[in-house]
Amino acid sequence: MAITTNLPTDERLIAGFNPYYIEFTSSALSYNKSVLTIKNYLGTDITTVELIPDDSGDFKYNVSGVVRGTVYEYEQFIEPQYEFPNITTAANALITDDTISRGYIFKFDVYDDTSLVDTLTTSVPVYFLKASRQILESPDMIDFSSVSPSLYVEPLTVNQMSVTCWQGYPIDVQFDGLDSTQQIVYDDASLIVINTVLISVNEDRMMRLALIDSDGNELTSLSSTSFYEVALVGGKDSFVEIDYRIPSCEGKYFRFTNSNGGQSFWLFTDVYTIEKQRKNKSRVQRNYNDLETARSRNVSLGNEINNYLVVNETTSSELDNDMMKSLINSPVIELWEGGNNWRRVEMTNNSGSFNNKGTSKLFSFTFDLGTIYNQSY
């Protein structure tokens, strides 16, 4: 007897915010139900579900709800916990991050009434990433993960191999270190970082390389660094090209989740303005004894002020345009307020179009910065 499933046999990444159905069947002669146990990568039970076979004897279960509950946030509505490391010591720049993906293994038990007639526990974890795929796209993110040492590893940033950095503004890149037991970072040709975290069998396979920290320290002199090579010992190397820019003026800097489950960054230096909208609270009629000394008939209970940030950008390349698309599509956008302080904001309006007749485009975005509550009494 044997259980056959549709699960991948390699540790690939799968977009965790899409429906993902596990299908399996048994070669047992007779059965009428199964119990599917979902475990974390260590083998600890998360939940179980009882399933009934269809007319063909197959079982099917959508694991999306379980996955979303564990890869989204540790608790709903908490703020992001990731902070940039201080990289005055270069070895601090390469770290692991277990918040980007989660690994699962599965146990299948097939029953004929109360008798166990078939069982299987998978040994290869399936990793679900904080990412979404759209119509006609596969949830299997093969392009962004090595499923064997012979395949190329691409970082999770939207620009993939080319990363835009601005002097003084924190930035990192995220990539999959699958199958590697050591990671060595080279600046063009010079060894600068060694990290020896074992990542091939646990959640620590997702990695971050900080290029500029929250104090403005650079990993190397980025203005003269053309690329970094991350040698994944036991895996396949990853390369990060550097597009280094010196801001002409102070701007507004954003970090946002991209469609690949990683984070992208952009500095708006063209034009930005703050718009304010005021809404008065209720007023109460005051008591007064003398009209000559009374200053008003009513007393305000305060007001609410909504601040809106408006930024503009004229792009100069297709990579810049891709970043604007990613920002528009992003479900989580944060505004940098210095140090390791990021404010989550909402995009309320955007303008600008994409076409195939040139790369220079003008974009405008409006962000809701939240409400200021002013109370007088």
**Is residue 219 included in any domain, yes or no?**
no
DSSP one-letter code for 56:
T
244 is a domain residue = no
Using CA atoms, how far residue 28 sits from 36, 109, 114, 121, in Å, is 16, 11, 14, 16
**Cα–Cα nearest to 243, from 158, 315, 159, 163:** 163
Q: Which of 206, 301, 211 is nearest to 16 (CA)?
A: 206
- Give the chain's residues under pLDDT 50: 74-75, 149-153, 158-159, 198-200
**66: CATH:** 2.60.40.10
Query: Closest by alpha carbon to 352, among 309, 312, 310?
Result: 312
CA separation, residue 233 to residues 25, 143, 199, 205, 239 (Å): 38, 20, 11, 13, 14
What's residue 200's pLDDT? 47
Q: Where are the alpha helices (DSSP H) in the chain?
A: 64-71, 318-329
Note the pTM of the prediction, 2 decimals: 0.83
Residue 157 belongs to a domain = no
Give residue for tokens 């090209």: 241
Does residue 275 fall inside a structural domain? Answer: yes
Domain presence at residue 106: yes
What is the predicted pLDDT for the residue at 282? 66
What's the pLDDT at 76? 53
148 belongs to a structural domain: no
Amino acid identity of 27?
S
Q: What's the domain range around 352?
A: 270-377
Count of structural domains within the chain = 2
**Among 110, 137, 164, which residue terminates a domain?**
137
Say if 43 falls within a structural domain: yes
CA angle 153, 236, 189 (to 5 degrees): 100
Q: Give domain status of residue 46, yes or no.
A: yes
